[in-house]
Copies of this chain bind each other. A is one copy, B any other.
Amino acid sequence: MADYPPVYVTVDVVVLTIRDDTLQALAIRRGGPPYKGRWALPGGFVQQREDLPDAARRELAEETGIEVEPAHLEQLGSYGAPRRDPRPDRIISVAYLAVLPDLPDPVGGTDAASAHWVPIDELTARPLAFDHAEILADGLERARAKLEYSPLATAFCGDRFTIGQLRRVYEVVWSARLDPSNFHRKVTGAEGFVVPTGERATGGRGRPAELYQRGSATVLHPAILR
């Protein structure tokens, strides 16, 4: 085994949420070299006996002060180009995609370094550290694709939501307008996507909407097409 080169393995996490009707991602301002001052994805080294998803959850909690279990966490893939980190050691990163509902409290209340929610448009407009721009782009593409055929959109909502709130998730993530009436029919018609609670939302403008919960489906039939 000593014949083979050891490498260092990190996890990096694309953490998405919707705030102020905008798709945002968690980013950390790097305080030291390399790439000092640039935005980076939250992440860090995997510990010796730690499973990869656990490492992603730990980094999310440690670096950002977020205590909640993400509503969705999946592996994006591994990034291992030989010079992706300018330091001499070989560092391979396993990237994860996490999706959270809009959190009432802002991030960074603890001694978390300097994690911030940043609108996606701002984040993709400037150069990120390492290959994090590529990882972020892959995470966005994965999220956009999964809205079609999986119930991922519910991970952006709290445990109770209206069909209108769910539609706004699709509209924000896809940057598209959707017909409210057809969307309603598709979502309530997709087996196991959402289940009505019998309660109604209060306080909004217009007719109060039925409140729904996530259903048990893992794939949507039929899909919600873009």
User: Which residues of A does B touch, CB under 8 Å?
Assistant: 1, 4-9, 45-52, 75, 77-78, 80-82, 87, 89-90, 92, 94
Residues of chain B with a CB closer than 8 A to A81's CB:
51-52
The minimal Cβ–Cβ distance linking A163 to chain B, given in whole angstroms, is 26
CB < 8 Å neighbour of A78 from B5, B50, B75: B75
Let me know if A5 and B47 touch, CB within 8 A. Answer: yes
CB distance from A74 to the nearest CB of B (A): 9
Flag if A80 contacts B52 (CB, 8 Å): yes
**Which residues on the B side are within 8 Å of A1 (C-beta)?**
8, 87, 89
**B94:A80 contact, CB within 8 angstroms:** yes
Check A78/B94 contact, CB under 8 A, given A7-B6, A7-B7.
Answer: yes
* A161 CB to nearest B CB, Å: 28
C-alpha gap A4/B6 in the complex (Å): 11
Bound-state CA distance A8–B8 (Å) is 8
Q: Which residue of B lies closest to A93 (CB)?
A: B78
CA distance A146 to B41 in the complex (A): 29
When the two chains form their complex, are residues B78 and A51 in contact, meaning their CB atoms are under 8 A apart?
A: no
Q: Give chain B nearest CB distance to A51 CB in angstroms.
A: 6
